[in-house]
Chains A and B, each alone.
Chain A
Amino acid sequence: MSDSVVTDTRPSPPAGAETRTHRPATAPPARILSPGNIVAVIVLAVLIVLPLTSKSFFVFQMNQMLVYAIAVLGLNILTGINGQFSLGHSAFYAIGAYSCAILVEMVGVNYMATLPLAAVICFIAGFLFGFPALRLEGLYLALATFALAVATPQILKLSVIEHYTGGVQGIIMFSDTFEAPVPFGLPMESSTWVYYFTLAVFVLVYILAIALIRSRTGRAMMAIRDNPIAARSMGVNLSYYKATAFGISAMVTGIAGALSAIVIKFVAPDSFTFFLAVLILVGMVIGGVGWLPGCIIGGLAMLYLPNIAEQLDDVILLFARPLGLADALPGNLQNSAIRLSGVIYGFILILLIYLAPQGAGGLIRAVVSRLKWLKS
Chain B
Amino acid sequence: MHTIRTSLLTTGAALALSVSFANAGTVKIGNTNPYSGPASAYGQIGQTISACVKMANATGVLGGDTIEFISYDDGYSPPKTVEQIRKLVERDEVIFTFQTLGTPTNSAIHRYMNAKKVPQLFVATGASKWGDPKNFPWTMGWQPNYPTEAKIYAKYIRENLPKAKIAVLYQNDDYGKDYLNGFKEGLGDMVGNIVAETPYEVADPTVDSAIISFKAAGADVFFNITTPKFAAQAIRKAHEIGWKPTHFLNNVSASIGSVIKPAGFEASQGIITTAYLMDPTDPQWTDNAEYKEWSAFMDKYFPDGDKTSSFTAYGYAVCNTLLHVLKSANGDYSRENIMDKASSIRGLRVPMLLPGITISTSKTDFYPIEAMQLQRIEGKTWKLFGNIISAESE
Contacts and interface: CB of A to CB of B under 8 A. Distances in A.
B188 interface: no
A140 interface: no
Contact of B107 (A169, A178, A327, A335): A169
Given A57-B87, A57-B90, A330-B304, A310 B72 contact: yes
Chain A at the B interface: mostly helix, strand, loop or mixed? Answer: helix
Interface residues of B, number: 44
Nearest to A267: B78
Contacts of A276: 77
Nearest to B40: A339
A168 B174 contact: yes
A273 interface: yes
A264 B76 CA distance: 15
Contacts of B43: 339
Given A157-B173, A169-B104, A266 B91 contact: no
Contacts of B112: 265
B86 A60 contact: yes
A306 interface: yes
B82 A264 contact: yes
B302 A332 contact: yes
Contacts of B77: 270-271, 273, 275-276
Contacts of B75: 275, 306
A341 B51 contact: no
A338 B172 CA distance: 28
Interface in B176-207: 177, 201, 203
A169 B302 CA distance: 34
A260 B79 contact: yes
A157 B177 CA distance: 12
B341 interface: no
Q: Tell me whether chain B's interface is mostly helix, strand or loop, or mixed.
A: helix
Contacts of A57: 86-87, 90-91
B93 to A, nearest CB: 10
B73 A331 contact: no
Contacts, number: 111
A75 to B, nearest CB: 18
Contacts of B173: 157, 168
A331 B83 contact: no
Contact of B50 (A55, A271, A327, A335): A335
Nearest to B127: A169
A334 interface: yes
Contact of B104 (A150, A170, A306): A170
A334 B68 CA distance: 13
Given A264-B79, A271-B79, A335-B50, A178 B111 contact: yes
Given A172-B107, A172-B111, A310-B73, A335 B82 contact: no
A53 to B, nearest CB: 15
A341 B90 contact: no
Interface in A290-311: 306-307, 309-310
B243 interface: no
A56 interface: yes
B36 interface: yes
A64 interface: yes
Contact of B83 (A64, A309, A332): A64
A331 B50 contact: yes
A165 to B, nearest CB: 13
Most buried by A among B36, B75, B80, B302: B36
Interface in A246-280: 260, 264-266, 268, 270-271, 273, 275-276
Contacts of A271: 77-79, 104
B248 interface: no
Contacts of B82: 264-266
Contacts of A341: 35-36, 73
Contact of B35 (A172, A268, A335): A335
A264 B78 contact: yes
Contacts of B108: 264-266, 268
B4 interface: no
A254 to B, nearest CB: 16
Contact of A332 (B47, B91, B172): B47
Interface in A274-288: 275-276
B35 A270 contact: no
B78 A331 contact: no
A64 B303 CA distance: 39
Given A168-B174, A271-B78, A61 B73 contact: no
B51 A268 contact: no
Contacts of B105: 270
B115 interface: yes
A262 B76 CA distance: 20
B71 interface: yes
Contacts of A150: 203
B111 A309 contact: no
A331 B111 contact: no
A342 interface: yes
Nearest to A191: B86
Contacts of B46: 335
A154 interface: yes
A167 interface: yes
A154 B73 contact: no
Given A61-B83, A150-B203, A260-B79, 5 more contacts: A57-B91, A268-B107, A306-B73, A331-B51, A332-B47
5 contacts: A170-B78, A170-B104, A172-B107, A306-B75, A330-B303
